[in-house]
Structure 1
Amino acid sequence: MIQTIRNFQFLKLQKLVIVSILIGFLSAFLGVALKKLTEYYEEIFAHQASINSLYYIFFPIFGLSVIYFLREYLFKKKENKGIKEIFESTNSKSQNLPNYKISSHFINGLLTVIFGGSTGIEVSTVVASATIGSVAQRKQNVFKEYKTELICAGIAAGITALFSSPIAGILFALEVISRKVTRAFLVSNLISVLTAFGLVLLLKEKPLFTVAITTWQLKAIPYFILLGILAGFTSVYLTRCVLFFKSQFSKIKVHYFKILLGSSILSVSLFVFPQLYGEGYHGIKEIIANPSGTQLTLSIALTFLAILVLKPIVTSATLASGGDGGVFAPSLFIGAFLGLLVASILNTYFGVNVIPVNFIIIGMAAVLSASIHAPFTAIFLVCGLTDDYTLFIPILLVCLISKYTAKAIYPFTVYSFSPSLSK
């Protein structure tokens, strides 16, 4: 009898290993494919818009309209709820992520960003890869109790593929989704992220941002702390913006009016500040490439402030009017510009001589940490993006400060908020 139980447990573990490899490969392949397609077409469309500004008006309304008609006639008239869909599935024995979520989030995430929607493909990848894990779990009765673990395996692999960081993948699955460690979680997630990272290495994926970080200064710690506090406030502004726009847009009964209003906000903002187009990674690359190249003047400072104010608004308008995505890319964008603005003000007006590129990188991690309440995910994700761990200690410090500053001001993220909790 004991031997029979052992044999069954071994067979179960064997199947778990095999299915984790499959989940890791398929989720990573999906993530890499979506990232590559988005980068390629976003660059083409953004370039066309920079040549002819009328495209800033046409692209958003066209992209949001296509997404609406796809949802209406192809994807069962279901709204994409983002990561909340995953929570609903993991918290319920009967509710599952339907198969079509793989294609719907892949296609809608791609269309949102390439046509100027001011968000990113990260959440689209997370939900699509979570669905891969969910489908795999449902195919085998032996995995009935491993629903959360296999969904997390898909998520971890998807994040690994996007940011070339297996540690960030596992930490995101743990900090945001599972919040508990089981043996099945460790086995499935470790195998899936190693498979995903193997594919990333095989395809020779390069870090998203090429940056030269040489050192950091102890005298800058008080200013890092200041950046962490400001990042906490900024992330709360982003969260409240998204929640406010979704609440207000939900009162509009005719969906196409939502599209017209959302695309109007987006078009005007893009016309004035093209840096807000799509994910915004092109804007981050520009300031990383030349962080000290522009002397801070009042007009440049006001431009940076306007971008910091507008980015949460256009992100919120994109999501509330039907765009697919989340707050990952907007958080990184806002953090980069916030970090550069703080460093430039300190150097120009206070003569402290801090290193601007360090503030850009730390700012990215700080705002992301505060926005999703996952500091360790933010640390390894940003270090993976730059393929550099020089700033690990200050990033750790600032991410913790920004998270707890944000939680003290407003306890919810866009993922954890529900109207009933706020009452």
Structure 2
Amino acid sequence: MTSTIRNFQFQKLLKLTIVSILIGFLSAFLGLALKKLTEHYEEIFSQQATTNPIYYVLFPIFGLSVIYFLREYIFKKKENKGIKEIFESTNSKSHNLASSKISSHFVNGLLTVIFGGSTGIEVSTVVASATIGSVAHRKQNIFSEYKTEFICAGIAAGITALFSSPIAGILFALEVISRKITRSFLVSNLIAVTTAFVLIYILKEEPLFSVDITTWHLKSIPYFILLGILSGSISVYLTKCVLFFKGQFSKINVHYYKIIIGSCILSASLLIFPQLYGEGYHAIKQIIVNPNEIKLTLSLVMTFIGILILKPIVTSATLASGGDGGVFAPSLFIGAFLGLLLALLLNTFLGANVIPLNFIIIGMAAVLSASIHAPFTAIFLVCGLTNNYTLFLPILVVCLISKYTAKMIYPFTVYTYSPSLVK
């Protein structure tokens, strides 16, 4: 009897391992494919728009229209709700993520960003990879109890592929989705992210941002604290913008009116600030090249303030009018520009002599931490993006400050907000 039980447990563990490897590989491959396609075509389309600004008007309305057509006639009118779809699935034994979510989020996420939608592919990847885990859990009755674990394994592998950080993948699945740790969670997620990391190692994936960070100074700690408070505050602005626009657009009965209004907001903003096009990673790469040589001028201050005010608005308009995405990339973008602006102001008016590059990197992590209430995910994700852990300690401090600042001002994120919670 004992040997039979042991044999059953061994077979179960073996199947769990094999399925976790498959989930890790498929989720990572999907994430990498979406990442590469998006980078390639976003660069092409954004260059065309830079050369001929009329495309800033044409691309958004075309992209959102195609997404609407696909949703209506190809994806069976199923609305993409983002990460809330995952919560609906993990909180219910009967509700599962439809397999069509893999293709719909992949295609719609790609189209949203390459045609100028001011968001990122991260949430599209997360939901698509979560669906891979959901499909795997349904294939054998033996895995019926591992629904959340397999969904999290897919998510963790997808995040690992996008940001080259297995720790960030597991932490995101734990902090945002599962919120509890079990032995089966550890086994499935560790195997999935290891598989994903092996794949990106074989493919020689480079960090998204190439930076050379060598030191930070204790005298900067008060300024880091200030950055954390500002990051928490602006993240609340981003969250409230998204919720406000979604609420207002939900009152519009004719969907194409949503597309027209959203496109007008997006096009007008892109004509003023082309940096807002797509994910915005291209703009971050420009400011991290040599931020020490950037001189503070009135026009630069006005540009940065305009970008910081408009980014949450255009992100919200993109999502509310039917675009696919979330707040990952916008948070990193806002944090980078906020950090640089603060560093330039401190150096110019207070003679603080802080290192602008450090503030850019810490700002990215801080705004992301506050936007999703997941500080440890933000820490390892940004360190993975830069492949540099020199700033680990100040990032840790600032991420915690920004998260709790945001929670004090407004207790919800775009993932956790529900109208019933505020009644």
TM-score, normalised via structure 2 length: 1.00
The superposition leaves residues 263-314 of structure 1 with CA deviations (integer Å, 9 ceiling, x where unpaired) of 0000000000000000000000000002122210122111101100000000
1:147 maps onto 2:138 in alignment = no
1:233 maps onto 2:233 in alignment = yes
Inter-partner Cα distance in structure 1 for 2:260 and 2:24: 39
Inter-partner Cα distance in structure 2 for 1:359 and 1:140: 49
Inter-partner Cα distance in structure 1 for 2:422 and 2:10: 46
**1:88 paired residue number:** 88
Inter-partner Cα distance in structure 1 for 2:404 and 2:12: 41
The superposition leaves residues 87-131 of structure 1 with CA deviations (integer Å, 9 ceiling, x where unpaired) of 000000000000000000000000000000000000000000000
Deviation at 1:78, TM superposition (A): 1.1
**What is the one-letter code of the residue matched to 1:331?**
S
**1:302 paired residue number:** 302
1:5 maps onto 2:1 in alignment = no
Inter-partner Cα distance in structure 1 for 2:403 and 2:29: 32
**What is the one-letter code of the residue matched to 1:255?**
H
**1:276 paired residue number:** 276
**What is the one-letter code of the residue matched to 1:416?**
T
1:361 maps onto 2:369 in alignment = no
SS in 2 for 1:420: helix
Inter-partner Cα distance in structure 2 for 1:5 and 1:412: 46
Inter-partner Cα distance in structure 2 for 1:61 and 1:221: 45
**What is the one-letter code of the residue matched to 1:264?**
C
**1:393 paired residue number:** 393
1:199 maps onto 2:209 in alignment = no
**1:245 paired residue number:** 245
1:331-410 matches, cutoff 5 A:
331-410=331-410
Deviation at 1:137, TM superposition (A): 0.3
**2:257 paired residue number:** 257
Inter-partner Cα distance in structure 1 for 2:84 and 2:291: 37
1:135 maps onto 2:101 in alignment = no
**2:329 paired residue number:** 329
**What is the one-letter code of the residue matched to 1:168?**
A
SS in 2 for 1:292: helix
1:64-75 matches, cutoff 5 A:
64-75=64-75
The superposition leaves residues 49-97 of structure 1 with CA deviations (integer Å, 9 ceiling, x where unpaired) of 0000000000000000000000000001011000000000000000000
Inter-partner Cα distance in structure 2 for 1:314 and 1:354: 31
More displaced stretch, 294-303 vs 394-403: 294-303
Structure 1 runs of 4+ with >2 Å offset: none
**2:43 paired residue number:** 43
Inter-partner Cα distance in structure 1 for 2:164 and 2:81: 26
1:108 maps onto 2:123 in alignment = no
SS in 2 for 1:97: coil
Deviation at 1:46, TM superposition (A): 0.1
TM-score, normalised via structure 1 length: 1.00
Inter-partner Cα distance in structure 2 for 1:94 and 1:370: 32
Deviation at 1:379, TM superposition (A): 0.1
**What is the one-letter code of the residue matched to 1:28?**
A
The superposition leaves residues 372-415 of structure 1 with CA deviations (integer Å, 9 ceiling, x where unpaired) of 00000000000000000000000000000000000000000000
1:30 maps onto 2:30 in alignment = yes
Inter-partner Cα distance in structure 2 for 1:292 and 1:167: 31
Inter-partner Cα distance in structure 2 for 1:118 and 1:6: 53
**What is the one-letter code of the residue matched to 1:339?**
G
Inter-partner Cα distance in structure 2 for 1:92 and 1:294: 52
Inter-partner Cα distance in structure 1 for 2:192 and 2:165: 12
5+ residue gaps, structure 1, are none
Inter-partner Cα distance in structure 1 for 2:35 and 2:213: 25
RMSD of aligned residue pairs (Cα, Å) = 0.4
Overall identity of the aligned pairs, in %: 81
5+ residue gaps, structure 2, are none
The superposition leaves residues 197-231 of structure 1 with CA deviations (integer Å, 9 ceiling, x where unpaired) of 00000000000001110100000000000000000
SS in 2 for 1:139: coil
